[in-house]
Chains A and B, each alone.
Chain A
Amino acid sequence: MALDLRIVIGRLLLAIGLQLVVYGFLHDGRAASMDIAWGSGITLVGAIFHLLPRLVKTA
């Protein structure tokens, strides 16, 4: 394929997840903790996708 889609998915999820986490930390209350919790999950999945090509190559 022309672009490695795993990296594209990873970067998009990282970009969205990190924004949610940072926004959550800058605010208070239950709403902010929801952003932090789900933002962290999305960031983690994004990081895994981003690293996947390297991990698979290493394996």
Chain B
Amino acid sequence: MGRLVLAPIDYSILLTYTVFVLGIGWLLKEKTKTSEDFFHSGHGVPAWIAGLAFLSANLGAQEVMGMAASGAKYGIMTSHFYWAGAVPAMLFVGVFMMPFYYGSKARSVPEYLRLRFDEKTRGLNAISFAAMTVFSSGVSLYALGLLLSALLGWGFDVSILTAASIVLVYVFFGGLTSAIYNEVLQFFLIVAGFLPLVFAGLRDVGGWGGLVERLNGVAVKQGFAAGTYTQLWQNTANPAANPMGIEWFGLAMGLGFVLSFGYWCTDFLVVQRAMAAESMDAARRTPLIAAVPKMIFPALVIVPGLIAIALTLGGNTSGFKLPAKPDGTLNYDMTIPMMLAHYFPPGLLGLGLTALLASFMSGMAGNVTAFNTVFTYDIYGAYIRPNAPETHYLKVGRLTTVAGIVASILAAYAALRFNNIMDLLQLVFAFVNAPLFATFLLGMFWKRATGHGAFSGLLLGTIAAAAHHGVTLPAHSVAGLKGGWLGMVTTYPSEMAQNFWTAIWAFSVCFVATFVISLATAPHPDESLRGLVYSLTDKPRSDGRGLRPELVAICILVAVTALNIIFW
């Protein structure tokens, strides 16, 4: 594809955003005096800010560009990530799990595991999470460098060093507050930058009706039933009948339950935003507030993918076409950049690019803030220097921020030499997050679960995920990173189907192993579990301001069910 040429107005908008981001870090420097301020925003974040940050921490550019790419590849079934996965999981964490996270006064998810189970379970989770966040932040940086060099011709080194320096400045000075502020700004930039794109694209295809008509034609051309690209569940009885290559059970259990709940309920990167809220009620409302825009987001990030594939394969007069890869297949990852280039004039183009850059940087900052908290409290404070003065941990937190950024840059350069690192990252997430959800589910809702059970369950769940990956392979793939390295037994129609079933195996083995080993080991006394387990904890009382979280959750559940039915 040809490179974009930016006008001075585009650079001016990019510069405006950069000045705001750095300004926020600078202004917050004076207000960030304690480790409590640096790692937890002084527990003073209002629910609406924590809610938007909770949503945006997951809205990195890889997510934004990846969802549009999946929209183009799989159609509206990509919305399952939102309407069957994220939204129900957010309601669950807000209503049922947040009282334990917030009420236990744990400073991090690994620390909750120490309080509920034991030190070894915390250590295992802290180390795997810290490694994952640095890795993830590095991959984000790598993707930013690739995008900027492909789109604008900027050098890879200059791109990643500039972005990393900006993130370093604002997280170093302002800590979590700075990251949260920038995540909220990023949310508004994404809405402002992508809404015009959806309008322009829809106008091009003749509105929603025209889009559906074109997609019906595309589906028939690909050998599917006419409505396949615009229906969520209707073609899931048989994996061969939909482009995702998955049947309803794998979808509902693998994505809807295990992977989504595993991510939204246990990943400290998002949970940290809710734990920084100003009160228990605010913490419970945080995921519920996030669930409302999350429900609507497919219109902003998936519809552009639908428009792109409808125009590319359904024919158009405006000249839009997705580029092809060297092997002749469509390059879906370029959906958003290509649409920005095609529809936006100078000015709006700068805004769209700023929104993408903001996503990259806030995604990275989210990982860095989660990393510095877990490293400082759960690794340094637990094993290297416990009981140090509070100011010492603030200093360590800032130094860890620098170390995290440097490690991310190194990971980005490592990614440059290893072209399958994105696949590896997804795999590591499936291996770590899926069994962790089983551990939390049993830990929070079954008082008989023990530390030995949790630790063994986590290890066995991860081993089960690896074993499943080793004996399965997606269709048309060769044995190696994609699976089959233990000798192939089963072939899945798609990589996504393989991922969902890997997660189901990891969860199930962890659940059963934790259950059996817990029964075989000595239980924790009830007294030590108060405030940590559902049956031994007083139900949280609402502060009386606004609607009760349970009622809000029911309303959102009704709305998301309605969306599933409308697009059935």
Residue ranges of A at the interface with B (Cβ–Cβ < 8 Å): 1-3, 5, 8-9, 11-13, 15-16, 19-20, 23-24, 30-32, 34-35, 38-39, 42, 45
> Chain B, 339-365, contact with A by CB distance < 8 Å: what is the 0/1 string?
000001111100100100000000000
CA distance A11 to B181 in the complex (A): 13
CA distance A30 to B31 in the complex (A): 46
B28 touches A3 (CB 8 A): yes
With A1-B46, A1-B177, A3-B181 known as contacts, the answer to whether A20 contacts B12 (CB < 8 A) is no
With A19-B9, A34-B196 known as contacts, the answer to whether A13 contacts B348 (CB < 8 A) is no
CA distance A38 to B196 in the complex (A): 7
CA distance A11 to B19 in the complex (A): 12
In chain B between 54 and 97, which residues have their CB closer than 8 angstroms to a CB of chain A? none
Q: Can you list 29 contacts pairing A with B, beta carbon distance less than 8 Å?
A: A1-B41, A1-B45, A1-B46, A2-B28, A2-B177, A3-B28, A5-B181, A8-B20, A8-B24, A9-B185, A9-B188, A12-B17, A12-B20, A12-B188, A13-B192, A15-B20, A16-B13, A16-B17, A16-B351, A19-B12, A19-B13, A20-B351, A30-B345, A34-B200, A34-B345, A34-B348, A38-B348, A42-B192, A42-B351
Chain B interface size, as a band, is 20 to 34
A1 touches B347 (CB 8 A): no
CA distance A46 to B31 in the complex (A): 25
- Indicate the member of A1, A2, A20, A45 with the most B CB atoms within 10 Å: A2
CA distance A45 to B351 in the complex (A): 15
Chain A: CB-nearest residue to B20: A12
Does B252 interact with chain A (Cβ within 8 Å)? no
Out of B12, B16, B177, B347, name the residue touching A35 (CB < 8 Å): B347
CA distance A42 to B348 in the complex (A): 11
> Chain B, 274-302, contact with A by CB distance < 8 Å: what is the 0/1 string?
00000000000000000000000000000
Does B184 interact with chain A (Cβ within 8 Å)? yes
Residue ranges of B at the interface with A (Cβ–Cβ < 8 Å): 9, 12-13, 16-17, 20, 24, 27-28, 31-32, 41, 44-46, 49, 177, 181, 184-185, 188, 192, 195-196, 200, 344-348, 351, 354
Interface majority SS (helix, strand, loop, mixed), chain B: helix
A31 touches B346 (CB 8 A): yes
With A5-B181, A34-B348, A39-B347 known as contacts, the answer to whether A16 contacts B192 (CB < 8 A) is yes
Contacts of B27 in A (CB 8 A): 2-3
A12 touches B196 (CB 8 A): no
CA distance A35 to B17 in the complex (A): 18
Out of B12, B184, B192, B344, name the residue touching A5 (CB < 8 Å): B184
CA distance A19 to B9 in the complex (A): 8
Nearest 7 CB-CB pairings of A with B: A31-B345, A2-B31, A35-B347, A23-B9, A20-B347, A23-B347, A38-B196
CB of A38 to closest CB in B, whole Å:
5
Contacts of A32 in B (CB 8 A): 345
A15 touches B16 (CB 8 A): yes
CA distance A11 to B27 in the complex (A): 15
Contacts of B13 in A (CB 8 A): 16, 19-20
B12 touches A8 (CB 8 A): no
Contacts of B196 in A (CB 8 A): 34, 38
With A24-B347, A38-B196, A39-B347 known as contacts, the answer to whether A1 contacts B188 (CB < 8 A) is no
CB of A10 to closest CB in B, whole Å:
10
A5 touches B49 (CB 8 A): yes
CA distance A20 to B345 in the complex (A): 10
CB of A25 to closest CB in B, whole Å:
11
CB of A16 to closest CB in B, whole Å:
6
CA distance A34 to B349 in the complex (A): 11
CB of A31 to closest CB in B, whole Å:
3
Chain A: CB-nearest residue to B354: A16
CB of B349 to closest CB in A, whole Å:
10
A13 touches B46 (CB 8 A): no
Contacts of A19 in B (CB 8 A): 9, 12-13, 16, 347
